[in-house]
Structure formats: structure tokens, C-alpha cells
Structure 1
Amino acid sequence: MKSSGPAFLILFATLMATAGTGISIVAFPWLALQHHGSAKDASVVAAAMTVPLVFATLVAGTAVDFFGRRRVSLISDSLSGTAVAAVPLIALTAGRAALTVAVLAVLAFFAAAFDPAGMTARQSMLPEAADRAGWSLDRTNSIYEAIQNLGFIVGPGIGGLTIAAVGGVKTMWITAGLFALSFLAIGALRLDGAGKPHLATRPAGLVSGVAEGVRFVWNLRVLRALGLIDLVVTALYLPMESVLFPKYFSDHRQPAQLGWALMALAGGGVVGALGYAVLSTHVRRRTAVLTAMLTFGAAAVGIAFLPPLPVILVLCAVTGVVYGPIQPIYNYVMQTRAPRHLRGRVVGVMAGLTYAAGPLGLLVAGPLTDAAGLKVTFLALAVPILLVGLVACWLPSLRELDREPELAVDPAP
């Protein structure tokens, strides 16, 4: 019997959890900046939110394939909510002075460490939810990624506005509440394939499970190319969003404008992701990927010159629109190439590649900003993004994006 209920529960949980993460991305570095106004402090805290992501995503994929998608999502939301709630609890019990850069870095580390498991679990349930609702994979991935981007509109927007209104510490109560709503939605979910997998299809162990996922991704040329591209681009872009933008708007005492800039980027992403289902019938996937990367690089270079706020908002929105179809395309490739019993690990490996170089970029960006200034650092990160897009135009493996995949088959239980 067809029912869209499970799909809507997954989408609602995704919106709540992503919005919570979006607030954290803004609030943790902002709280660090309140100590000495140093970009280095903000970059340390922001890096603490990315350091666990590589290992966490790899482990999350194996955990999803071993324990089951629904269970892992519930555990992830509860632990993430606890980590962010610790910020106002510490301030209440020990005073604001107890929230040093080191303490904030530790809490940011744990808040980020559990997010990938929830993301991987929810994303791994999409094909079954689409089948139950009678939706195509293109439509499901389009809506899912639009919801993700909407979360990054709601999250940073709430974060910037509430920091201005009530301060960064109290803002974390809202973050914890959003994770609680995600927990409740997944708790109500009933869906085939969301429970504990059959013994015959589970990974034999953590190391072997991760290795199996890595081998699958590495041996499939198109997934390998997409993963490595995301690794480089994320390493270059993440410092802009997590350190350079907060530093720029903090110097100008404009937390709400920081929220608007991130909301413009995510708002464009919503439009781009929602348009993907229609776009896919008219434009080749490879063309969409290359157009997105080249436009992203050009817009990043434009932002690097720190033009007036309206220009920054337009460039962020344009970037979001053209980049919106990217993740639905990535999702489609993973869902149609990987067998169901490997899906969690493939999602985890791809996400892990995306985050692998993030900490290095963040740790370099902070000191470089303090030494050379925001504009130089922006350019040092933006120009290579454009170069990656140019190199991608010559990669033969990306031509496989437009080839029909072979049917992925699970082993018999």
C-alpha cells in the first residue's frame, strides 16, 4: 500500500536536524570570537566541528549497515542534542567564564561527531521511502536536498537573529530542541529496511566494514572522482563559511547579516535542488555538475573581493542555485550503483571524503586571516575552486554520470 507518511517523517527529521546543525555552525565560532575577537580562536572551534567528521562518517556508514538505519538516527539525534545543550547548562552552573575556547572546542567536537550518523541513516532510507510513496528517485532526492538546504536557511537565520537578540549561549537551547523534534519524528517512523539488517548482510566488523565501503567507492571511477572533487572543494569552501564570513561580520558587529549571507546561499540551494527533477529531463548530469563547479568558483572569486552586502547576497544565491542539483546527482549515483546492504557504508565513505581536508583548510585559514587579512585569504581559497572546475571538464570518469547504471544486487540472506 502506497503511503507518503514515512517519506514526510524522514524529511521533517532532516529539516529539524539540519537546522540544528546550521545554528551550531554559526553559534560555536561566534561564541569563540567573543573572547578576543581572533579569527584563530574561531578557526580552532570550527575545526573542532570538522575533525571528527571524517572518522565519524566512516564509522556511521558501517554502524547504519550493522545496527539499522532507524536506531542509528535516534541515537545520533539524542547525543547531538545533549552536546549542544551542555553549552547553556555549563553557563548556568559554572558561569559564562567557564565557556573557554577549549571548552567550546570540545563541545563543538562532540556536537559534530554524532551528526554524520543521523545524516547517513536518514539518507540511506530514501530509496525505500520513495518506493513506499510511489515517488521517483530524482523527485525524492530533489526534495530531500531542498529540505537539507532549507535547514541551512532556517538554522543560520535563527542563529544569527537569536544571537543578536538573546546571545549565543541561549541560542543553543533552540538547537537542542530541534534535535529533539528530529528524534520524535524518526521514533514514529515505520519503514521496510529501516530496522536491523539480516545477519548475512551485516558487515563482519568495523574495520572490515569500512574497508569494504572504501573499496567499492574507489573501484567505481565515477564515485571516486566525485568524492575527490568534493574533498578539495569542501576544504577550500568550509573556511569561508565557518571562519571568514563570521570574522567579517563580527568585525562589523553584524551577526544578522551573517545569517542573511548563509541564508542566501542555502535559499539558492533550495531553488536549485527543487528544480533538479525538471532539469534532469533536459540537461545531462555531467553538464549540470561542470556548470555548478565553474559558476561556484567564479562566484567565490567575486565574494573574495568583499563587495557590498547586496552583491555578496546575490553571489551566494547564484552559487546555491547552480550547486543545488549537485547532491541529488551524487545521491542518485550512490543509490543506483551500491547494493542496499552497502548503501550506508558508501554514503559514509563519500561524506568522509568530503570532510577529509576540512580541518587542514580551517586551521590554515585562521592564522592566514590574522596575518594577511580577509581579502587575501578569501582569494587564496576561491581561486583554486575555480581551477578545480576547469580540471573537472577534462575528467573522462565524469562522462559515466550520463550512463545507465547496472542494477545493484544484494546477496541472498
Structure 2
Amino acid sequence: MSSRKPFVALAAAETFSISGTRLSTIAVPWLVLSTTGSAALTGVVVFTEMLPYVLAKALGGPLIDRLGPKRVAITCDSASVLAVVLVPVLHALGLLRFGLLVAIVFVMGLLRGPSDAAKSSMVPDIAEIAAVPLERVTGVAGMIERLGSTVGAALAGVLVSWIGPSQALGVNAATFALAALIVQFGIPALRERGASATEPEPSSYGQELREGWQFLRRDAVLVGIVVMVATTNLLDQAWSAVLLPVWIKDGGHGAGLLGMMFAVFAAFSIGGSAVAAMLGERLPRLPVYAVAFLICGLPRFAVYALDVPVAGVVVTLAAGGFASGFINPILGAVIFERIPKPLMGRVSSLNTALCWALIPFGGLVGGLLVTGLGVSWAMLVVGLAYFVTTLAPLVRKSFREFGTPQRSGAPEAADVVPAA
């Protein structure tokens, strides 16, 4: 018998988890800036959290398959409560030193990676339990990600101004605790995927990790997704972290305009995700995916390079945000359908980690381009690079199977297409 309760529980847990994560991404850098005044040290702290996050997500897949995603999510979120709450406690006692903060932030990233990967890998099982199309679940997940990011950022701004950055992290700890409780009591025990009849003998951690990597690299569709998304994530980070703030500052505008532009993009992205959740299973995947990337790509950069008035920029961001809302639901459905359940944790977490791998370098690329070319030319160069990248679904053979649903949950080994 189908049940929607696990679906609702996962959505609620993701909302709290993502909102708390976005809160910490603002509160932690602001804490460093307010206590040290150093932008360089702030960058060190941000990188220190992101690096273990990506690595733990890539390497934690076998643990998710062995222990089950529910157990990993609860354990990591519960441990995150203890790690995060150390910051306001030590700061209140006057014991928080920079080196200690770096260590705590490292642990935060180390725990957050497997937790996020575990919740994500639950999606196919939750869709099956709820008897809901996979595209609808991934659409709701995409909508929650954007909603959580928006709410978390807004909440961070209010709390940091009201009670201070270290105390705001106490709220972050509470969001992790709520997420752990919701997963514990709202989601049924999911089968430990490693206990497969085809694997009578337990394999080593290294063998399981290697098996996930080998499956990923042999699937041409997954390889194409990783290459394309990793590149666009790099370019998106250059835009959000450097290019857009510099353009706004050089134009004599304030931080309010920066926040408004991010809010417009995020708000319309939520709307796009909502539509994708309702109609996703009926939409032609490859054309929608390709067109969505083209709309949210080059135009978003060209309007700045061409000095389009602010009103035109806002309209372009609204259109791009709405289009972007269709991307992750389609990507999620394709990825989850192509991965066998016994390999879900190790392959999906590795896939996501590789897609995130270039994000830490986005700010560096943006800074170098602005320094060498100026912000207008930098916008144009990044926009053209984005455009070339978004043509991949139309020209690469590896995307030919992109639009073919794999309703069995994943292709059999004989159906895996060699990487192009």
C-alpha cells in the first residue's frame, strides 16, 4: 500500500537541513569577518568547509549503501548538532580561536556531505513507497532546495543582525536536530542496499567505492551530466561570488540590489520547480533540459556586458530563474533511474560530488577575469563559455539516451553505453 507520509517527511527534513546549511554559509563567514577583519581568512574558512564536504560526499557512498541512507542521515545530522553548537558556546566563553573555528568548520563540512547524499539517495525509494512519479519527487526536491536556500539566506540576514553570527549558528544546530527527528520518525527503515543476493560475500570499502566509480564512468549519460554540470557550476560560482557583486559595486549600487537580484532568480526558480513537479513526467526531457539551460545561461551574462537597464536585467533574471527550475528535477530523475539500487548511495553521491568539484575555484576564475579584462568583458567571456557548455545536449552522442526513461530503476549492465 502506498503512503505519502515518507514523501512529506523527506520534504520537511530537507527544508530544515537546507535552510540551516544556507544560514551557516552566511553566519560563519560573517563571524570571521567581524572578528578578524580579514577577507583572506574568511576565504580560508569557506574553503575549509567546502573541501571536506565534496570529498566526504564522494567517498561516503559505500557507507550509505552498507548502513542504509536513513541511518547515515540521522547519525550525521545528530553529530552536526554537536559540532555546530560548539561555535556559540565557545564564543560566549571567550574560547573560540581561529584555528579552533577552522577545525569545527572542517567537521561541519565532513558531516554535511554524507548527510546530504544520504537524503538525496532516499528519493527513488520514497517515490516507490508513495507511488509518485520520480519526476514529481525530484521536482519537489528541487523546489525545496531553492525555497530552503531563500528562506535560509533571509533568516541568516535577520538573525545575524539581531543576535549576532555565533548565536545564529545555534539556530542552525536546531535545524539539524529537527531534520534528524523527522527522518527518524517520519521515514520507514529502508533496505540496506548492499545486502544483495548478487553479493553473497561482503566486499571491502575500497572495492565498493571502485565499483561505484566504474559504473559511473561507463555510463555515457552520467559522464555527460557530470562534465556539463561541473562546468556550469564553476561559471555560476564566478558570476555569483565575483562578477555580479563587482558589477553592482562599479555601477554605484548597494548590496540591496545584489540581494534583490538573487531573490528574483531564486523566487522564479521555485516557480519553475513547482511546474516541473506537476508536469515533469509528461515533458520531453532532452528538449526541456536543453532549452532551460540556454535560457538561464548566456542571457544572464549578456545583459550585464551590454549595459542593459536594471529593469531589463531583473526581467532576464526572472526568465532565467524560472527556466532553471526545470533542470534539477529532470537531472535527478535521469540520474536515479540509471543507477541500480544496490549502488545508489555510492554512485549518486560520487556523481553529485564531481558536479560540485569545481565550485571552490569559481571565485578564483571570476577574480582573474575581472582583473585582466574588466567586469563587462569578463561577463561576456563567462557567458559565451556557458553557452558553449549548454550546447552539449544537442551535439554530444552521450546525451542520446537522456530522454529515454529507465522505469526499471536503472539499465542492466549490458545496456550501459560506453563513455564517448
TM bucket normalised to smaller: 0.7 to 0.9
TM-superposition CA deviations, 1:102-126 (whole Å, max 9, x none)? 5554433332222221222112222
* Alignment match, 1:296: 296
SS at match of 1:114: helix
Check whether the contact 1:14–1:182 (CA below 8 A) recurs between aligned residues. yes
- 1:115 is matched with which residue: 112, 115, 138? 112
Deviation at 1:54, TM superposition (A): 2.9
Q: 2:281, 2:16 → 1: CA distance?
A: 31
Deviation at 1:43, TM superposition (A): 3.3
Higher mean C-alpha deviation, range 203-212 or range 216-225: 203-212
Q: 2:363, 2:47 → 1: CA distance?
A: 6
Deviation at 1:232, TM superposition (A): 1.1
* Alignment match, 1:389: 390
Deviation at 1:182, TM superposition (A): 0.3
CA RMSD after TM alignment: 3.3
Change in Cα spacing, 1:63 to 1:180, as seen in structure 2 (3 Å) is same
Q: 2:311, 2:34 → 1: CA distance?
A: 26
User: What pairs up with 1:87-236 in 2 under 5 angstroms?
Assistant: 87-94=87-94, 98=96, 100=98, 104-194=101-191, 197-198=194-195, 204-236=203-235
Deviation at 1:228, TM superposition (A): 1.0
Q: 2:61, 2:223 → 1: CA distance?
A: 17
Matching residue's letter, 1:229: M
User: What pairs up with 1:317-328 in 2 under 5 angstroms?
Assistant: 317-328=318-329
Deviation at 1:6, TM superposition (A): 1.2
Matching residue's letter, 2:388: L
Number of residue pairs aligned between Structure 1 and Structure 2: 408
TM-superposition CA deviations, 1:195-216 (whole Å, max 9, x none)? 5752755972222222111111
SS at match of 1:188: helix
Change in Cα spacing, 1:366 to 1:38, as seen in structure 2 (3 Å) is farther
Matching residue's letter, 2:57: T
Deviation at 1:71, TM superposition (A): 0.7
- Unaligned ranges ≥5, structure 1: none
Deviation at 1:181, TM superposition (A): 0.8
Q: Which TM-score applies when normalising by structure 2?
A: 0.84
Change in Cα spacing, 1:223 to 1:199, as seen in structure 2 (3 Å) is closer
Q: 2:190, 2:237 → 1: CA distance?
A: 34
Change in Cα spacing, 1:242 to 1:67, as seen in structure 2 (3 Å) is farther
Change in Cα spacing, 1:41 to 1:138, as seen in structure 2 (3 Å) is same
Higher mean C-alpha deviation, range 219-228 or range 26-35: 26-35
Q: 1:194, 1:54 → 2: CA distance?
A: 26
Q: 2:125, 2:22 → 1: CA distance?
A: 27
Higher mean C-alpha deviation, range 292-301 or range 218-227: 292-301
Q: 1:258, 1:137 → 2: CA distance?
A: 35
Higher mean C-alpha deviation, range 80-89 or range 268-277: 80-89
Check whether the contact 1:84–1:107 (CA below 8 A) recurs between aligned residues. yes
- Unaligned ranges ≥5, structure 2: 414-420
Q: 2:373, 2:90 → 1: CA distance?
A: 35
Q: Which has the larger radius of gyration?
A: 2
Change in Cα spacing, 1:189 to 1:283, as seen in structure 2 (3 Å) is closer
Check whether the contact 1:39–1:367 (CA below 8 A) recurs between aligned residues. no
Q: 1:34, 1:258 → 2: CA distance?
A: 21
Matching residue's letter, 1:204: S
Deviation at 1:4, TM superposition (A): 1.1
Deviation at 1:302, TM superposition (A): 4.2
Deviation at 1:42, TM superposition (A): 3.9
Is 1:65 paired with 2:62?
no
Higher mean C-alpha deviation, range 12-21 or range 154-163: 154-163
SS at match of 1:321: helix
Q: 1:245, 1:224 → 2: CA distance?
A: 30
Matching residue's letter, 2:269: G
TM-superposition CA deviations, 1:168-223 (whole Å, max 9, x none)? 22221221111111011011134252557527559722222221111111111111
Q: 2:263, 2:324 → 1: CA distance?
A: 14
Change in Cα spacing, 1:99 to 1:255, as seen in structure 2 (3 Å) is farther
Change in Cα spacing, 1:392 to 1:71, as seen in structure 2 (3 Å) is same
Deviation at 1:353, TM superposition (A): 1.0
Check whether the contact 2:334–2:405 (CA below 8 A) recurs between aligned residues. no
